[in-house]
Amino acid sequence: MSFEIADRDLMARIGRFETKSGVVETPLLLPVINPNVKTVLPKTLEEKFGCRALITNAYITEKSFKETASEKGLHDFLNFNGSIMTDSGAYQLLIYKDIETSPEEIVHFQEKIDTDIATILDIPTGWGVSKEYARYTVNETIKRAKKLEKMKTRDDIAWVGPVQGGQYLDLVAKSAKEMAKLPFQIHALGSPTPVMEQYKFDLLVDMIVTAKMNLPASRPLHLFGAGHPFMFSLAVALGCDLFDSAAYALFARQDRYMTESGTTRLDELEYFPCSCQVCSKTDPKTVKALPKEDRQKLLAEHNLHVSFCELRQIKQAITEGRLWEHLEMRAHSHPALLQAAKKVRKYSEYLEKQSPITKRNGIFFFSSVGLARPQVVRYRKRLADRYSPPPKAKILLLLPQTRTKPFHNSKEHEMVKKEIQQSLGATADLVHVCTYSAPFGVVPAELDDIYPLSQNEIAFPFDAETVMYVAQQAANYIMNTNYDHVILLRDPKVWRGKIAAACRRACEKRQVPFTTLRERDPWAKNTIEHLTAVTRKALMQP
Ligand SMILES: [Zn+2]
């Protein structure tokens, strides 16, 4: 039951998890099979979708098919050869409050039907409950989890240790910490379904990251009830490895058609925006005219196709190191998702620590949402912790960024350097040229071709938050270094005076002279001559 990680990006992993019925690759989507209502048959999942794993409910199976399932075993009973995960019935507990089984019974039943991945009978926290009740669900779940070792009789089944706590993050942390101490092979974050139904994806970010911070990275994390493809990339980026989808069938029952960016009602569709096996062979008008059962089946199959397709896109993005770009694209499907993507910034330092450094491809910045990216955080930390300006440098000359990268190769910066060289001769060495630029902040000329400082593209004009971030980085740089004088060449159209204001404040604090040029065009010949004159004057000051 090993979990091997093959590739990583952000906190996402492509992993291989071994069960007694075979190895499955994560991130993995397990379609939910209700043994009472098989909208899509397990055999169809296996043959048509190449599906290697599914999830079913142990409680419903016990209640309705106890003898057959026990006799045949789950694989024969469902007619499925891949890995089968069973949920304990906790969700039914959440809905119907009291269910007719016990923690022991559900453990033994899951062993008896020969499931591959089993779940203890936890108590879901749910939504909108008091903190007191939430604490009870956490404590009771931990108590039951501790008893598992004594209850179970087999060692070839992977057990899931659910993390509860709901919206109470301190309880989520406690629950995860306690579960982490127990010998589970998988963890699952409980109760996100109501959170997702209400589109509280930003709270989901808090819940996932809190759980991840307190769980061992070596065990896969399942996100219970998160079956919509439009939020997979966010959850995967934060380290969720397994998902289950009942949504593909539930949505189909309500004539709802999933896409990777949302949900549409069948009767609103003139065209199918998809080329899956279902959509490429028919059209909405034909499907609308079908009897309900046939219609449901086709919609469920499409919903599954689009869900699996999104996961494949996510995996490809992980291998290319482009999961962030993918996540941002999906985040723009819905304001609630964008709000969640913005929330990631709160955890950007943690994300940076957990993200691999190996991927070296160019990165795209669309807006301030991208300031949470590990590359931005990593550069900020390294500049502060590891960098010192050249020992000779007396004057900091801050130039605005150019469209050409690396900046020191741009004709604009070449022009400035040439003027200064000619005017100052040997003393030009005392002037240290740096660029202030989005999204990284201050970039010393000698570093600006190092990854990713030149290997990125950014959309102009910058939004206000990005401008403020760069201004703050410029101020931090001045505070952390020892130049005798700071000279700033402004680019008012891009930076709206914010960099100058931040640098002035920092220089006042450090009590060093600050000079800025107010010319409109930073790269006009007379601006550069003026800049050179100012620099020479600064050098002559004692
Ligand atoms: Zn389709």
Q: What is the pLDDT of residues 31-71, one digit of tens each?
A: 999 988 888 999 999 999 999 999 999 999 998 999 999 99
CA of 302 to the centre of ligand 1 (A): 4
Looking at residue 360, what is its pLDDT?
Answer: 77
Q: What is the mean pLDDT of residues 488-511?
A: 96
Q: What is the mean pLDDT of residues 150-158?
A: 95
Looking at residue 98, what is its pLDDT?
Answer: 61
**Reported confidence tier of residue 519, pLDDT bands at 50, 70, 90:** confident
Asked if residue 206 has pLDDT above 80, the reply is yes
Annotated catalytic residue, options 7, 76, 87, 449: 87
Beta carbons of 324 and 237 less than 8 angstroms apart: yes
Query: What's the CA angle centered on 433, arms 430 and 438, to 5 degrees?
Result: 155
Q: What is the mean pLDDT of residues 392-412?
A: 96
Looking at residue 202, what is its pLDDT?
Answer: 95
In the chain, the percentage of residues whose pLDDT exceeds 90 is 89
- Residues measured by CB to lie within 5 Å of ligand 1, the ion: 274, 276, 278-279, 302
Instruction: Let me know if 87 is a catalytic residue.
Output: yes
Task: Give tens-digit pLDDT for 413-453.
Answer: 999 999 999 999 999 999 999 999 999 999 999 999 999 99
Asked if residue 318 has pLDDT above 80, the reply is yes
CA of 284 to the centre of ligand 1 (A): 11
CA of 48 to the centre of ligand 1 (A): 14
Give me the sheet containing 441-444, strands edge to edge: 441-444, 431-437, 395-400, 485-489, 514-517
Looking at residue 542, what is its pLDDT?
Answer: 65
**Reported confidence tier of residue 91, pLDDT bands at 50, 70, 90:** low
Looking at residue 339, what is its pLDDT?
Answer: 97
Q: How far apart are CA 91 and CA 240, in angstroms?
A: 19
CA of 52 to the centre of ligand 1 (A): 20
Q: How far apart are CA 41 and CA 80, in angstroms?
A: 9
**Reported confidence tier of residue 407, pLDDT bands at 50, 70, 90:** very high
CA of 324 to the centre of ligand 1 (A): 25
CA of 21 to the centre of ligand 1 (A): 30
Amino acid at 494: V
Q: pTM for the complete prediction?
A: 0.95
Looking at residue 93, what is its pLDDT?
Answer: 67
Q: What is the mean pLDDT of residues 326-349?
A: 97
Asked if residue 518 has pLDDT above 90, the reply is no
Q: How far apart are CA 518 and CA 319, in angstroms?
A: 47
Q: How far apart are CA 53 and CA 184, in angstroms?
A: 19
Beta carbons of 345 and 442 less than 8 angstroms apart: no
Looking at residue 36, what is its pLDDT?
Answer: 87
Looking at residue 99, what is its pLDDT?
Answer: 64
